[in-house]
A and B are shown apart, each in its own frame.
Chain A
Amino acid sequence: MINYLARRIAISMAILLAVSFAVYLIFAILPFDPAALTCGKNCNNPAIIEANRRRLGYDLPIWQQYFVFLKGLFMGRTFGEGAATIFCPAPSFGYSYQEHACVTNSIIEALPVTLSLAIGALVLWLIIGVGLGILAARFRGRAADTGSTIFVLIGTSLPTFLTGLLLLVFVVVKWRILPYPSGNYTPLFENPLAWLNTMILPWITLAFAYAALYTRFVRNAVIETLSEDFIRTARAKGLSEKVVLRKHTLRAALAPLTTMAGLDFAGLLGGAILTEAVFNLPGLGRLSLGAVIDFDLPIIVATTILAATIVIFMNLLVDILYAFIDPRVRVAA
């Protein structure tokens, strides 16, 4: 087990290093001068550009830049000298000239938004998906099953941005049930009601698409498990249908859900770009989309690497969790 863990962690670290370097490299070889972009769109002052280039370290060779970036992540980083020194404490993702702030600060500001979006949506879609899936499998071929099939069809056919737009059009614009998204975010502990008001539609939007996939998955997994021999044994022992379903079927059928939910959750944490764009939520997705439009390189690199880190970390976590849940994985590894 320890061997397995050590190897998985080592591989993850190697992939993380490779991905972060690749991201750094890809954006560095693009035909944009990051130093020129620091002084605005109509800037023609070469002195300022050159000064910024040195200040931000863009004059170094690419591999040195990457090394400085890595060092900054662990030890913080100082930009410039003398009176105009800017220090970004660890973990420093760099300094954005367009935002005039350490990138880490922008990320810390955006993270709670994406976190509440992802967690809320995850809870919602797990409840709907698992509940509806079990219901459909339990009452196979009856009204509940037909209803869930229709739900799955609509959910998988409706693109997320359309769900979001339709919700906006009806709930906000036409029926005026909720206020128009202001583009601001109210933390949960400051004003729970305002927080709920801004998050409920994005949650529904995201949860709708995922819940459909999960309903289908849970339904199929439960039906498949119900036909296994150990279920027949449990029934033959005279166990009640309730116990068979709860203790024997669900435990076996829902184990793979850990992997699915973990990875989908990780994908959302990297920034639900579309949902955040439609509802004007100031999360990681909107931060990175805005950075792409302005070509704010430090933010682009930081959010991309952050998203990759989350995906790799969750992959690792899910694998380890799964090895605990399902002993066969350990043997196979």
Chain B
Amino acid sequence: MGVALSEITGQELPTAVVGRSPRELAWRRFRGNKTGIFTLVIAAFLILSTTFAPLLKSAFGLDPRARYNDLMNKQGFPTGGFNGISWAHPLGLEPGIGHDLLSRLLFGARTSFFVALVVTVATVGIGLIMGIIMGYFRGAVDSTLGRFIDFLLAFPAFFMIVALSLPMVQRLEATGLVEGNSARMTYLVIILIFFGWPYLARIMRSQVLSIRERDYIMAARALGASQRRIIFKEILPNLWTVVIVYLSLSLPGYLTAEAVFSFLGLGVQPPDATWGLLISDSIKYVISNPTYFFIPSLALILVVLTFNLLGDAVRDALDPRSEVS
């Protein structure tokens, strides 16, 4: 008796147990995931380089509109094989028109990323709000909105997006606010959000339904917490995990969607570029100049792969139970 534990073990005991917040725990788990860190670095690099593309343009002379006709042969192909890859043009040149492919990809990514990011944030945001409204208030609000969501989900969304493209873009241009490529992008953003949020609203609703029955909500209610407090301080913080997971999982999907619609000719038109447009253009040269075909396709696959892996890592870090995946 009377012997301190530290004397027996010969070690200093920690003075106090330091609690770790869920956020710290998640960050620790994420840090331990090599794939997660690796993809995070790549994703950050991609986002930064596309955001600051105009700076890179002036620093390295990456002009997407410049034409290097002196490096093209008479048939309109870059000289030197492999799409004319050189130090000055690391990814070569676009056949026919002679643009620098790296700068086309870089500036094309700006449009693609922007569309994907806006649609992802908006669908998750609207889904979250609707999900909270439906899950928390239930009753008539829930069933009315629920039927409306059933109604929206019954639409063949992909087909509607294609079918409405031409007339809706004309409508948008008629308002005089946007025109040309920005009208096409605006249409794509709006319609993707319109058909995208119902899925997320359903997921959020089921989350809220289970959260609102937990004991701490009952405790808060018993303590006389206002509805506002329960929603914002008790329910919302418990939804952030789901929100972040769906943010990171939706982004690659919408990146692909943008490429698909550009590929079908419904997105941006030349002289601007997006990845889908570059891919659909490069098909013409698949036999005569295969390098040109593989560069934008591989770029798209690698970026989607990166964001998919990042999404998985984020989910694993935030939700330890999901480690089976």
Expressed in whole angstroms, the minimum distance between the Cβ of B116 and any Cβ of chain A is 13
Choose one: B154, B162, B164, B304; the contact of A273 (CB below 8 Å).
Answer: B162
Cα separation A40 to B293 with both chains bound (whole Å): 37
Q: Does A165 contact B (CB under 8 A)?
A: yes
Expressed in whole angstroms, the minimum distance between the Cβ of A140 and any Cβ of chain B is 9
Q: Does B88 contact A (CB under 8 A)?
A: no
Closest to A306 in B: B156
Choose one: A16, A31, A173, A216; the contact of B325 (CB below 8 Å).
Answer: A216
Given the interface pairs A15-B147, A158-B301, A173-B286, the reply to whether A273 lies near B158 with Cβ below 8 Å is yes
Question: Which residues between 1 and 56 of chain A lie within 8 Å of chain B, taking CB atoms?
Answer: 11, 15-16, 18-19, 22-23, 26-27, 30-32
Cα separation A32 to B286 with both chains bound (whole Å): 38
Q: Does B55 contact A (CB under 8 A)?
A: no
Contact A153 B305 (CB under 8 A): yes
Kindly list chain B residues whose C-beta atoms are within 8 Å of the C-beta of A220: 324-325
Choose one: B156, B170, B252, B259; the contact of A31 (CB below 8 Å).
Answer: B170
Expressed in whole angstroms, the minimum distance between the Cβ of A207 and any Cβ of chain B is 18
Cα separation A277 to B162 with both chains bound (whole Å): 13
Contact B159 A162 (CB under 8 A): no
Given the interface pairs A26-B164, A161-B263, A220-B325, the reply to whether A271 lies near B156 with Cβ below 8 Å is yes
Kindly list chain A residues whose C-beta atoms are within 8 Å of the C-beta of B153: 311
Given the interface pairs A15-B154, A304-B163, A312-B154, the reply to whether A157 lies near B308 with Cβ below 8 Å is yes
Choose one: A31, A156, A165, A308; the contact of B283 (CB below 8 Å).
Answer: A165
Cα separation A157 to B256 with both chains bound (whole Å): 9
Given the interface pairs A19-B155, A169-B286, A308-B155, the reply to whether A288 lies near B163 with Cβ below 8 Å is yes
Q: Which 7 A-B pairs have the closest CB atoms?
A: A307-B156, A157-B305, A30-B167, A157-B304, A159-B256, A223-B324, A270-B156
Contact A270 B308 (CB under 8 A): no
Expressed in whole angstroms, the minimum distance between the Cβ of A27 and any Cβ of chain B is 8
Q: Does B25 contact A (CB under 8 A)?
A: no
Expressed in whole angstroms, the minimum distance between the Cβ of A332 and any Cβ of chain B is 12
Taking each of A11, A30, A223, A224, which has the highest tally of chain B beta carbons within 10 Å of its own beta carbon? Answer: A30
A interface vs B, CB < 8 Å? 11, 15-16, 18-19, 22-23, 26-27, 30-32, 153-154, 156-159, 161-162, 165-166, 169, 173, 216, 219-220, 223-224, 267, 270-271, 273-274, 277, 288-289, 292, 295, 300, 303-304, 307-308, 311-312, 315
Q: Does B141 contact A (CB under 8 A)?
A: no
Kindly list chain A residues whose C-beta atoms are within 8 Å of the C-beta of B158: 273
Kindly list chain B residues whose C-beta atoms are within 8 Å of the C-beta of A162: 279, 297, 300-301
Expressed in whole angstroms, the minimum distance between the Cβ of B199 and any Cβ of chain A is 12
Contact B260 A161 (CB under 8 A): yes
Taking each of A267, A292, A311, which has the highest tally of chain B beta carbons within 10 Å of its own beta carbon? Answer: A292
Contact A159 B300 (CB under 8 A): yes
Q: Does B264 contact A (CB under 8 A)?
A: yes
Where chain A touches its partner, the secondary structure class is: helix
Expressed in whole angstroms, the minimum distance between the Cβ of B165 and any Cβ of chain A is 8
Kindly list chain B residues whose C-beta atoms are within 8 Å of the C-beta of A274: 260, 264
Choose one: B151, B279, B297; the contact of A19 (CB below 8 Å).
Answer: B151
Cα separation A271 to B157 with both chains bound (whole Å): 11
Kindly list chain A residues whose C-beta atoms are within 8 Å of the C-beta of B165: 292
Kindly list chain A residues whose C-beta atoms are within 8 Å of the C-beta of B150: 11, 15
Contact A18 B305 (CB under 8 A): no
Question: Which residues between 274 and 325 of chain B lie within 8 Å of chain A, taking CB atoms?
Answer: 279, 283, 286-287, 293, 297, 300-301, 304-305, 308-309, 324-325
Contact B259 A159 (CB under 8 A): yes
Q: Does B160 contact A (CB under 8 A)?
A: yes
Cα separation A15 to B146 with both chains bound (whole Å): 12
Kindly list chain B residues whose C-beta atoms are within 8 Å of the C-beta of A311: 153-154, 156
Given the interface pairs A31-B167, A169-B286, A220-B324, the reply to whether A15 lies near B151 with Cβ below 8 Å is yes
Given the interface pairs A308-B154, A311-B156, the reply to whether A31 lies near B171 with Cβ below 8 Å is yes
Expressed in whole angstroms, the minimum distance between the Cβ of B229 and any Cβ of chain A is 30
Closest to B259 in A: A159
Expressed in whole angstroms, the minimum distance between the Cβ of B170 and any Cβ of chain A is 7
Contact A157 B159 (CB under 8 A): no
A–B pairs, 12, beta carbons within 8 Å: A15-B151, A22-B151, A153-B305, A159-B259, A165-B297, A220-B324, A271-B156, A288-B163, A292-B166, A300-B163, A304-B156, A308-B156
